[in-house]
Amino acid sequence: MVAGYIPDEAVPGNQLVKRRECVQTALTLWPRAREDDDLIFGHTSGLKPSQLHLLESLPRRRNPPEQLFGATLAALLVEIARDTGREIGILVDRKGAIRQVIVGTSENLPLPTPDLPEGGLRPGLRLLHAHPTHRPLSPEDSTCLYSHRLDAVAACIRLHPEAPVQITWAFLSDDPTPIPRVIPYAPLGRLELDFQTWIADREQTAARPRGREVRHGERGILVIVAPDRARLERRTAELEELARTAGVEVVEVHTQLRPKYDPRTMIGRGKLDDILLTLGRHELDLLILDPSLSPAQARVLSELTPVRIVDRTMLILDIFAQRAQTREGKLQVELAQLKYTLPRLVGKNSFMSRLMGGGTGGRGPGETKLETDRRRVRERIDRLEKQIDQIASQRAIQRQKRKDRRIPVVSIVGYTNAGKSTLLHALTGADVLMEDKLFATLDPRTRRVRYPDEEEIIFTDTVGFIEDLPPDLVRAFRATLEELEQADLLLHLVDAADPGSDFKRQQVEAILDEMHLAHIPRFTVYNKSDRMPVLPASETRDLYVSAVSPPTLVPLVDRILTFFKKKRPRGASKRTRVETKRPRRRSAEAATDGTVLE
């Protein structure tokens, strides 16, 4: 049984063999063991001096290059495995040289992680090992084929001292989505295979051009780790929805309950092995993780996996990059992405090259900007902040004009996908994007409506909130979120049909408190009442509406108008009437006795 990790920048699944000259380059990165090096990797504690001496002599031997497993070397490894009661393995290159000796336990064989170059050159190695007992190749052996991109994995046994050595071996098929091909145990002497010719044929097959399945989106697996069951279920559902919004086809979902996250990889070793098997079985593009990774965790995982690493924060930033339409929105998204990735700019690590190589998790600024050094990234951040400051100044002037005209402002806030844009459309007839996806609205929309008795109100729609909203995103969108500070009334919209509505309502309230907006009057409005099986009792003061059913909005509009009438000092003028545009025809969907002005 082999427990292995995927080397840095491993090649995609359909590229099974690189050109011979590339292999020779890769071999230099896994240097051949020398007598003055640490020759043995793995579990050596408890071994006798004679056993250690025998293991240290193995690198001086050679495996015949044309043979998968030489008979003499196989017999020697079998005897050492029986004597020590442990799995014994060697990594052999295509010239027959032994590059590494590995000592496992009675049940598995831990492989070292080779330091491969960027570009994922195959090391041109095969793993030959002996089991102390009769046991077939395990799923972990298949993981080793995927993870270390080995030419082959072979295991030998001897049923009794006088019996011939038997061999079982496996390799990856040449299919577009490679799968392990396992050859069952048979006497080693009957194996008729010219290994060098076999490798050359595989290289030629891999070099031929072949078609690829046409996909409309990237494919990935989700990994969610949480300390308790409730959080795990909540975050799993939310990450699936985020992935769907980003256009990712989710192939599998892996979850794990852990009271404490692994400081190195966030997930446990066993779960990581399961994920590696999944990556091997499918031709995937992404590994999406929740919660967000630290820079160190992201770098480690990028070295162990052959796909792009995208954490929760990066996925949210990617969705924002897709949704940004205005210059302001694009600037704010770029600033948030740069600030998030700046701590992850450590040399030419694979995490950054995968991070901004395009696709999910890599939209926005682009590859050339985020692969520059720290100094140039900081300079770009400074320029973006100055441009956003100018936007904030322009917005402040607009807010002051509205204030001078004494037109009250109502800002619609809430958890993402609560129906804020749909409500804005219903109240004002605004032409806004309405989708059943997270963060459908990124750029804020403002509309002015005149109601009977000459009452005018400005409604604004804001970006949705989410649990653990990335701090860099909040800071980058300060120019947009400052609109909330000048609101006279907040409409906190809650998805009443969502089983987790109470938790999400509390999350939004906590975010508003963190933004120092607790002093602004607030109405809590429960949306999507049409999806509720039973409405609460009518005596409750809570407002239940359906943004797609205009008649249900009448009580909401009445309460808003009553609020501002009570708030206006007696005898004060309602507004300074300044008509900037001809009144629009009233939206049929609004049906709330208001006329849209702008």
H-helix segments, 58-125: 71-84
User: Looking at residue 582, what is its pLDDT?
Assistant: 41
User: Within a domain: residue 382?
Assistant: no
β-pair type (308-311, 88-93): unpaired
CATH of the domain at 281: 3.40.50.11060
Q: Do 491 and 359 meet the contact criterion of CB atoms below 8 Å apart?
A: no
| Contact (Cβ atoms closer than 8 angstroms) between residue 227 and residue 259 | yes
Question: What confidence score (pLDDT) does residue 377 get?
Answer: 79
Residue 441 lies in a domain: yes
User: Contact 250/315 with Cβ under 8 angstroms?
Assistant: no
Mean per-residue pLDDT for 19-37?
Answer: 38
The span from the CA of 405 to the CA of 576, in Å, is 5
Higher pLDDT, 199 or 144: 199
pLDDT at 359: 56
Which of 526, 486, 534 is closest to 508 using CA atoms? 526
pLDDT at position 174 over 90: no
Using one digit for the tens of pLDDT, what is the confidence trace for 107-150?
A: 888 887 655 444 445 678 899 999 888 888 887 777 778 777 78
pLDDT recorded at residue 76: 92
**CA–CA distance, 459 with 547 (Å, rounded to integer):** 15
Whether pLDDT at 391 is above 70: yes
**Band of pLDDT at residue 494, cut at 50, 70 and 90:** very high
Task: Say if residue 522 is in the same domain as residue 549.
Answer: yes
From 341-355, 391-405, 485-499, 509-523, the region with the lowest mean pLDDT: 341-355
178 shares its domain with 259: no
Average pLDDT over residues 454-470: 81
Q: Is the pTM of this model over 0.85?
A: no
Whether residues 139 and 228 share a domain: the answer is no
Picking from 332, 356, 374, the residue at the C-terminal end of a domain is 374
Report the range out of 271-285, 464-478, 566-580 with the highest average pLDDT: 271-285
Q: Which residue has the higher pLDDT, 468 or 538?
A: 468
Answer yes or no: do 548 and 589 share one domain: yes
Asked whether residue 135 is assigned to any structural domain, the reply reads: yes
Contacts with 60 (C-beta within 8 Å, 6 or more apart), sequence order? none
Q: Which token pair is 550? A: 């205009």
Please give the mean pLDDT across all residues of the chain: 76
User: 3, 285, 16, 19: which is closest to 150 by C-alpha?
Assistant: 16
Assign 387 to helix, strand or coil: helix
Are 409 and 310 contained in the same domain? no
Domain that holds residue 500: 405-596
Mean pLDDT of 201-212: 58
- Token reading at 591: 């049906």
State residue 433's pLDDT score. Answer: 58
Residue 389 lies in a domain: no
Query: Do 246 and 369 share a domain, yes or no?
Result: yes
User: Among 63-72, 134-143, 479-488, 489-498, where is mean pLDDT lowest?
Assistant: 479-488
User: Does 434 share its domain with 368?
Assistant: no
Q: Does residue 559 contact residue 522 with C-beta atoms inside 8 Å?
A: no
Shared domain check, 485 and 568:
yes
Strand extents, DSSP E, 108-152: 109-110, 125-130
More confident residue, 98 or 453: 98
Write down the pLDDT at residue 364: 52
End residue of a domain, out of 334, 356, 374: 374
Q: Which of 260, 356, 341 is nearest to 295 (CA)?
A: 341
The count of structural domains within the chain is 3
Answer with the one of 150, 178, 207 that is the final residue of a domain: 207
Of 207-216, 241-250, 563-572, least confident by mean pLDDT is: 207-216
Instruction: Determine which of 19-23, 346-350, 415-419 has the lowest per-residue pLDDT on average.
Output: 19-23
H helix intervals, 305-459: 312-323, 327-341, 350-355, 367-370, 374-404, 420-428
pLDDT in tens, 265-279: 898 888 888 888 787
Which residue did the predictor score with more confidence, 207 or 124?
A: 124
Does residue 329 carry a pLDDT above 70?
A: yes
Whether 394 is in a domain gets the answer: no
388 in any annotated domain: no
Residue 440: what pLDDT? 61
Mean pLDDT for the stretch of residues 175-186: 80
Least confident segment among 374-378, 411-415, 562-566: 374-378
Q: What is the CATH number of the domain that holds 591?
A: 3.40.50.300
> Of 329, 349, 330, 352, whose CA–CA distance to 340 is shortest?
352
Please report which confidence band the pLDDT of residue 31 belongs to, taking 50, 70 and 90 as the band edges: very low
Q: Would you say residue 187 lies in a domain?
A: yes
Identify the DSSP state of 32: P
Same domain as 363, residue 410: no
Q: Are residues 465 and 328 in the same domain?
A: no
For the segment 384-405, the average pLDDT, to the nearest whole number, is 79
What is the rounded radius of gyration, in angstroms, for the C-alpha atoms of the chain?
31
Residue with tokens 């994922």: 120
pLDDT digits (tens, 9 = 90+) for 146-164: 777 788 999 999 888 888 9
Whether residues 200 and 251 share a domain: the answer is no
Amino acid at 438: L
Give the integer Cα–Cα distance in Å for 13 and 261: 30
Do residues 241 and 188 share a domain?
no
- What percent of the chain is modeled with pLDDT above 90? 17
* DSSP string of 180-212, one letter each residue: EEEEEEEEGGG----HHHHHHHHHHHHHS----
- Residue 213 domain flag: no
